[in-house]
Structure 1
Amino acid sequence: MRYFEDFQVGQVHELGSYVVTREEILAFARQYDPQPFHIDEEAGRQSIYGSIIASGWQTAAICHRLLVRGVLEDSSSMGSPGLDELRWLRPVRPGDTLSARIEVLESTPSRSKPDRGSIKIRMEVRNQQGEVVMTESPIALFRRRPTTT
């Protein structure tokens, strides 16, 4: 179990990888982001992207899945009050393998609630060519390590 104290500024965590399929891109986009270049092959070919691409929101959701599996599911995570930045830098295409990593930027104990603290991280997602496709800077809340008496 990881607690607030286990996240040190400068620490890096590799979060694993995920292969994005055409079927997932289409299903996600049909339900949540039905823009033509996400749901229609011909519209994708005629767009500035040259093919269908994943919704940026899908990329963010995949990244979050990697974060949960790589860090949060074995931690004292208490959720998040939000994020300061989210950037989609390159399109994600069917067959891309996305890998993610985080770096701890800030670690701040709560002044009003001594049982917790917040961690600001920078998350970077790359495709199989090593190109950065997305970055974000979320803030996460974690319980502090229980004291033993």
Structure 2
Amino acid sequence: MDRRRMMADGIVYFEDIAVGDGFDAGPLTVSREDVIRFAAEFDPQPFHLSDEAAAQTHFRSLAASGWHTTALFMKMFVAAMQKEPGRQAASLGAIGVDELRWLRPVRPGDTLRGTNEVIDKKASASRPEMGIVRNRVTIYNQHDEPVLTMIPITMWRTRPA
């Protein structure tokens, strides 16, 4: 993000975002307790709940739910945005995700980090107060192996007239 494009109010409006802009997030270490707690509530499949059950599958040991990995992405990226209040002030949420892929299991003890790059943007034809930004997100483990990729589609406040 080129800070020179920001208005004096410090808010990063849709117009301030350029293709190629990006930021990093993390790190965040995944605990065994968090893997099991998330799975128990949201994805209670045996291979997310116990080593013994996971040993009987292609996972071979406890693996976090892909949905948990996706939620960890959100936790890391919101924390990164909160370090730049002007970015968070203009964010209007998301309308979806394209191409979500879980590339390899996330295990207890893994430390994750992420990258985010703007790949395209367009002004909303029906809602002039916002624009749409698509980002390429990759989450990596501590071995720099990608564990998740996706393209979030986000809405950003346009600069007031």
Instruction: With the length of structure 1 as denominator, give the TM-score of the two structures.
Output: 0.93
Hey, what's the Cα distance between the residues in 2 that align with 1:135 and 1:3?
25
The 3-state SS of whatever aligns with 1:81 is strand
Match of residue 117 from structure 1 = 131
- Aligned residue type for 2:58: I
Matches within 5 A, 1:2-13: 2-13=12-23
Hey, what's the Cα distance between the residues in 2 that align with 1:45 and 1:26?
15
Asked if residue 28 in structure 1 is aligned to residue 38 in structure 2, the reply is: yes
Which runs of 5 or more residues in structure 1 are unaligned? none
Of structures 1 and 2, the one scoring higher in RCO (CA 8 A, sep 6+) is 1
CA displacement 1:95-115 (0-9 Å, x = unmatched): 000101111011111122221
Match of residue 99 from structure 1 = 113
Matches within 5 A, 1:76-87: 76-87=90-101
Asked if residue 53 in structure 1 is aligned to residue 63 in structure 2, the reply is: yes
Match of residue 70 from structure 1 = 80
Hey, what's the Cα distance between the residues in 2 that align with 1:87 and 1:75?
29
Task: Give the C-alpha shift of residue 41 in structure 1.
Answer: 1.5
Hey, what's the Cα distance between the residues in 2 that align with 1:54 and 1:16?
17
Matches within 5 A, 1:105-144: 105-144=119-158
Asked if residue 40 in structure 1 is aligned to residue 50 in structure 2, the reply is: yes
Which runs of 5 or more residues in structure 2 are unaligned? 1-10
- Aligned residue type for 1:126: Y
Task: Give the C-alpha shift of residue 12 in structure 1.
Answer: 2.0
Hey, what's the Cα distance between the residues in 2 that align with 1:56 and 1:117?
29
Hey, what's the Cα distance between the residues in 1 that align with 2:73 and 2:62?
19
Task: Give the C-alpha shift of residue 70 in structure 1.
Answer: 1.6
Segments of 4+ in structure 1 off by > 3 A? none
Using the aligned pairs only, state the percent identity: 44
Instruction: With the length of structure 2 as denominator, give the TM-score of the two structures.
Output: 0.86
- Aligned residue type for 1:101: T
CA displacement 1:66-123 (0-9 Å, x = unmatched): 1212237623111111111100000000000010111101111112222110000110
Hey, what's the Cα distance between the residues in 2 that align with 1:7 and 1:75?
14
